[in-house]
Structure 1
Amino acid sequence: MITTSTRDASRRILVIDDNRSIHDDFRKILAPADIAGDDLDAVEAALFGTTRQVQTFVVDAASQGEEGLQMVKQAMAEGQPYAMAFVDVRMPPGWDGIETTRQIWQVCPDMQIVICTAYADCSWNEVREQIMPGDRMLILKKPFDIIEVLQLAISLTEKSRLLQESKRHMLELEQRVRQRTHELQISQQMAFEKASLLDLSRDAIMVCGLDNRVTYWNKSAELLYGWTAAEAVGHLRTELKEVNSDLFQQACEKVLQTGEWDGELQQVTKDGRKLVVEARWTLLRDTTGQPRSILVINTDITERKKVEGQLLRAQRMESLGTLAGGIAHDLNNALTPIMMSIELLKLHEQDPVRMGVLATIENSARRGAEMVRQVLSFSRGVEGQRVEVQAGHLLKGVEKIASETFDKNIRVSTQIPADLWVVQGDPTQIHQMLLNLCVNARDAMPSGGFINIRASNLQLDAQCASMIAGAKPGPFLLVEIEDTGTGMPPEVVDRIFEPFFTTKEQGRGTGLGLSSALAIIKSHQGFIRVSSEPDKGSKFQVYLPAQMEMTAAAGQQPADQPVMTRGHGELVLLIDDEDAVRKITGQTLESFGYRVLPAADGVEASTLYAEYKDQISVVLTDMMMPVMDGPATIQVLMRMNPQVRIIAASGLSVKDMVAKATSAGVKHFIPKPYTAETLLQKLNSVLCSQVTAAF
């Protein structure tokens, strides 16, 4: 092995040849000891256009392929690899040049190889068949020229240098890429963690560019709106069904001007469901302070708004109930003298024509009183007594009201058999329920149509009952109310009995009619079935438990002949602030054998009672009066005489009156408007027994 001094790893050359004189030839050409490399630098300058430098190659030599391979390995271990090698093609007795090259490339794949041969039978095709030379091998024919050797040495060592430099740059670039990739991974991980935190939020969070295109869309936004992030990102927010475009535009302008905006927006989901969101917008800026995007946080308040609306409607209904109670009290006070006057007039009237007029007035007054009771029942939730009810009479009454009050383009017909079974229930509530169903049918026919009311007896067996939710076997009264209106899709049918649910325009319905009807049906242990299709009308079937045999009380109309009991000079203290009620009640009592002390309020009554308490047999007092109301008056009178007999009267609901009177210690009650017959019977009952109550 021949080794020269090491100057530059990129110019190290290995010569492998079994002829040592060849080693010397290469050394003389590539690393002459007596010159400074002028010829070499001249050749390099001519080839590459560089400035001439005094520079020679470092040449090492080996006689066999095995020895050359060891030198390549050692040079690589020392970090001074050879740039190229001149390898003789035949080097007996060891490896030939082809095998040596193959072995070297396994250790150092980038080494440039020049195969030197003096044999004509060693061709490029032969080399290619034994080894894939690629661009790392050249063939040099012996004998070779000095310039040819120099050109190969300069070119291939420069190529090796550039290749190694390129690899170093690639390694540096790869290192930079790995570092940047690592930084991006950390950044992405942080962004993922932040996004995960945003996904945990129950609010719909999105980020939009200044052009209102979505750039971020969290999981809650997906759940709320139905659009996936992939569907939403890149789209304009207005494409995602903002309802109020004017308000949306105002919000955009406000957030750009002030940096923030908050308010309520009406929106629509992907499937068309309407939403109300509480929106909070914040303008995001870049590091230079320029607007970059808008952060949007939307909270779904649809249910809250719905509950608030229901609360407001409930408050309005409560206010309406209070107002209705006051109106009912005044109406009852107005109806009382009318109804009592009619009875007094009928006692002294013989003319049939005038009697007919009085009967008409009396029926109208009774109907008005019944309407007042229905108003009180609806507004206060009053429960009447459960009695045997002949539904036929109620249905005819409902038909009459509907025919008289509904638009003339709505025709009402009935099919009511005479042998209907009776039900045990509250007539007022059942009447209200049936009327509600008819009103619902009317509202479904804005252009007119037909309402058909049918009733029948039905024996429901166990098999049929098992197929109907809430049904039990037994006898039922079936009432069917069918209309030819607009009908309803299944999703609406599923919700019609929800309180406050309505398909009418805002302000045109409370959403309580059907829900209150259902409550009444359930309170009577009944159930209801609904069938409807769009444009094909609706049919409501009400099932009420029934008694299979009619009773005389339920099947017959009450007798018209009143029973008028007379007094025997008993003194009645009559207390009422309504002058008309006070006068006609006094006249009625005096006409039937009673004496009367009238008082306009509790103060006057207290004075009169203190003077005449030993003569007064009974006190009839209104519960609602100015100055001193009924309960206060009762307490004063009972302090004067704990045994005083008092009848409390009120135009409010029986339940309210009973509660107030009972708390004051009264046992006898009479609701307004009362008739002469009712009043006289009540007085007779109280005077005959001090312990018998009216109810």
Structure 2
Amino acid sequence: MTDQDEPNSSLLGQARKLQAILESAVDAIITIDGQGTITTVNPAAARLFGYDQAEFLGRNVHFLMPEPYHSEHDGYIHNYRSTGRRKIIGIGREVTGRRRDGSLFPMHLAVSEFETDGRTHFTGIIHDLSDRKATELALRQAQKMEAMGQLTGGIAHDFNNLLTVIIGNLEMLEGKLTTPLQRELTNEALEAADLGARLTARLLAFARRSHLEPETVNLNSFVVGLTDMLHRTLGATIYLSNALTPHLWSARVDASQVESAIVNLAVNARDAMPDGGRLLIETGNAAVDADMSSRLDGLSPGDYVRLSVSDTGAGMSQAVRERAFEPFFTTKEQGRGTGLGLSMIYGFAKQSGGLVTIDSTVGKGTTVTIYLPRHRVEPLQATAIGDADAPASGTGQVILAVEDDDRLRKLTVSRLTQLGYVVLAAASGAEALELLASNPGIDLLFTDVVMPGGMSGYQLRQQARALYPHMPVLLTSGYAEELAGNRTAEEDIRILRKPYRMADLAAAIEDAIKA
């Protein structure tokens, strides 16, 4: 080998090493000359932008940029070369790229400058930010929904206390009325209060603070059972069909919430198809692995039952999809929707350990999918339950009623006294423990769940049971926190949800005392 061959060999080795780096790099690397013409490109760039490598060469790099950067790019280079002012060279910043199919994506672009053969060249290293941006968006959305859930849950709690007082006093007044007009006005007020109670129930569902009553169910049964009713509701212009998996796994969920979710989604789909269309209700089994979990907002890996409702309606824009689960957000005209249907479904699914997703394209339709955790115990056959007998009144049993709200405590004492019970009242958990210690003959502890002073109804229940292990306890709440997080090994927790009617109170008290 001659002396001249050794430098050539060294240069060849360096070129091969550089080529290997370019070929194996994860990020896109593009080199341009001083006029913006692409001279080299690596495979990662071809994959990122969707072109073959040969399609880059000899073209101005601005074809990879959306407007206004497409038209202004050459001016950026000219301004830099004439003034020396750096906007991105040697600095790096977040910009937007355009793929072959026209789609845009966020990317970080770092540009360096070098000279060869007396000519200036620029190398751009491009890192795709799509995944990071999607994660950031999902996190912001989750934080927003959590904050809204806390707000709506707190409002619903206070509102339910007010409704309990309103309903209770109207019911007590009802028996003292003497004219038909008085009774009519009272009934209208009670009906309005019941509407308010249904509104707060939906808010609590969104806030994931509903008191769910889960049972083992097969979702196919619900779809089949609702089909006739949905045909009548949707009308003749909507073609309804089902695609039900024959060997569908069971789920343990609140049956009333499942029915409400199916009906809400079907009605939403109908409203999105004013001129008619197709509605498909589909069930399936879904085994969520780690990769699928990352695409489903971090849904825990495992087995899930999937319920999807798809329509061929107007579809949603990205801006609408991002707000679709917010309470009171609706695109329907005034008077045609409360904006609580999807928010209620969202809260129910999350509280049940699952998830709701929306896949929608403007002009092509929408698919809403609910994932609910699989339950491995087969469902029991449902049995018909007749109307329960009217609950009997008390016969002098002693009840300790614990409620921090003065008006509600006064009402509760009046109601229980009217039902035939002897009532002791306490405004806090500490006061209740003092009464329990000095009155061993108490037959039932009836306590609110959320109370000030550092002791909740659950904690009061535990301390009362330590004093009197067999004492019946009935809890009540307008907030109805998730019982699962407050249960220990015991399964006999009883709770009466606010607002409640006199008959509900009587039945709950009697059941608790007899248990």
TM-score, length-scaled by structure 1: 0.52
User: Which one is further off, 239-248 or 677-686?
Assistant: 239-248
Which residue of the other structure, out of 184, 191, 195, is the alignment partner of 2:19? 195
Q: What SS does the aligned partner of 1:616 have?
A: coil
Equivalent residue runs for 1:297-446 within 5 Å: 297-349=125-177, 351-380=179-208, 383-386=212-215, 391=226, 426-439=255-268, 442=271, 444=272
Q: 2:302: which partner in 1?
A: none
Contact 1:277 1:302 in 2 (8 A): yes
**What is the CA distance between 1:658 and its match in structure 2?**
6.0
Which residue of the other structure, out of 637, 642, 645, is the alignment partner of 2:464? 637
For residues 395 and 277 of structure 2, the distance between their equivalents in structure 1, rounded to whole angstroms, comes to: 55
For residues 426 and 300 of structure 1, the distance between their equivalents in structure 2, rounded to whole angstroms, comes to: 44
Cα gap change, 1:248 to 1:360, in 2 (>3 Å): farther
**What is the CA distance between 1:430 and its match in structure 2?**
2.2
Q: 1:618: which partner in 2?
A: 444
Contact 1:242 1:267 in 2 (8 A): yes
**What is the CA distance between 1:239 and its match in structure 2?**
2.0
Which residue of the other structure, out of 409, 412, 435, is the alignment partner of 1:585? 412
Q: 2:479: which partner in 1?
A: 652
Q: 2:249: which partner in 1?
A: none
Q: 2:394: which partner in 1?
A: 567
For residues 67 and 145 of structure 2, the distance between their equivalents in structure 1, rounded to whole angstroms, comes to: 31
Q: 1:598: which partner in 2?
A: 425
Equivalent residue runs for 1:439-588 within 5 Å: 439=268, 442=271, 444=272, 449=274, 485-486=313-314, 503-504=318-319, 507-509=322-324, 563-588=390-415
The percentage of aligned residue pairs carrying the same residue is 23
RMSD of aligned alpha carbons? 5.0
Contact 1:578 1:600 in 2 (8 A): yes
Q: Deviations over 1:98-137 (max 9, x none)?
A: xxxxxxxxxxxxxxxxxxxxxxxxxxxxxxxxxxxxxxxx
Contact 1:205 1:218 in 2 (8 A): yes
**What is the CA distance between 1:591 and its match in structure 2?**
1.3
Q: Deviations over 1:549-599 (max 9, x none)?
A: x9976xxxx97x982421122232211112232122111111121222222
Q: Check if 1:678 corresponds to 2:508.
A: no
What is the letter of the counterpart of residue 464 of structure 2? L
**What is the CA distance between 1:325 and its match in structure 2?**
2.8
For residues 619 and 334 of structure 1, the distance between their equivalents in structure 2, rounded to whole angstroms, comes to: 22
For residues 451 and 384 of structure 1, the distance between their equivalents in structure 2, rounded to whole angstroms, comes to: 36
Q: Deviations over 1:193-226 (max 9, x none)?
A: 4123211101100112333322221111111112
Q: What SS does the aligned partner of 2:257 have?
A: helix
Contact 1:222 1:228 in 2 (8 A): yes
For residues 302 and 269 of structure 1, the distance between their equivalents in structure 2, rounded to whole angstroms, comes to: 13
Q: Deviations over 1:2-58 (max 9, x none)?
A: xxxxxxxxxxxxxxxxxxxxxxxxxxxxxxxxxxxxxxxxxxxxxxxxxxxxxxxxx
Which residue of the other structure, out of 494, 505, 511, is the alignment partner of 1:668? 494
For residues 454 and 192 of structure 1, the distance between their equivalents in structure 2, rounded to whole angstroms, comes to: 59
Which residue of the other structure, out of 203, 206, 218, is the alignment partner of 2:42? 218
What is the letter of the counterpart of residue 479 of structure 2? L
Contact 1:576 1:625 in 2 (8 A): yes
Which residue of the other structure, out of 87, 98, 102, is the alignment partner of 1:268? 98
TM-score, length-scaled by structure 2: 0.68
**What is the CA distance between 1:240 and its match in structure 2?**
2.0
Contact 2:401 2:446 in 1 (8 A): yes
What is the letter of the counterpart of residue 296 of structure 1? G
What is the letter of the counterpart of residue 648 of structure 1? L
Cα gap change, 1:439 to 1:210, in 2 (>3 Å): farther
For residues 685 and 215 of structure 1, the distance between their equivalents in structure 2, rounded to whole angstroms, comes to: 83
Q: Deviations over 1:169-204 (max 9, x none)?
A: xxxxxxxxx998997686456424412321110110
Contact 1:481 1:539 in 2 (8 A): yes
Q: What SS does the aligned partner of 1:265 have?
A: strand
**What is the CA distance between 1:299 and its match in structure 2?**
1.1
Q: Check if 1:281 corresponds to 2:106.
A: no
**What is the CA distance between 1:425 and its match in structure 2?**
7.0
**What is the CA distance between 1:625 and its match in structure 2?**
0.6
Report the number of matched residues.
Answer: 436
For residues 354 and 513 of structure 1, the distance between their equivalents in structure 2, rounded to whole angstroms, comes to: 39
**What is the CA distance between 1:269 and its match in structure 2?**
0.4
For residues 222 and 650 of structure 1, the distance between their equivalents in structure 2, rounded to whole angstroms, comes to: 60
Cα gap change, 1:328 to 1:415, in 2 (>3 Å): farther
Contact 1:254 1:261 in 2 (8 A): no
Q: What SS does the aligned partner of 2:91 have?
A: strand
**What is the CA distance between 1:674 and its match in structure 2?**
2.3
Q: 2:300: which partner in 1?
A: none
Contact 2:206 2:343 in 1 (8 A): no
For residues 192 and 481 of structure 1, the distance between their equivalents in structure 2, rounded to whole angstroms, comes to: 54
Contact 1:623 1:648 in 2 (8 A): yes
Cα gap change, 1:440 to 1:580, in 2 (>3 Å): farther
For residues 183 and 638 of structure 1, the distance between their equivalents in structure 2, rounded to whole angstroms, comes to: 90
Cα gap change, 1:661 to 1:622, in 2 (>3 Å): farther
Q: Which runs of 5+ in 2 are unaligned?
A: 241-252, 287-306, 327-340, 353-358, 371-381
For residues 482 and 202 of structure 1, the distance between their equivalents in structure 2, rounded to whole angstroms, comes to: 40
Q: Deviations over 1:395-428 (max 9, x none)?
A: 69x97xx9xxxxxxxx999999xxxxxxx97122
Q: 1:143: which partner in 2?
A: none
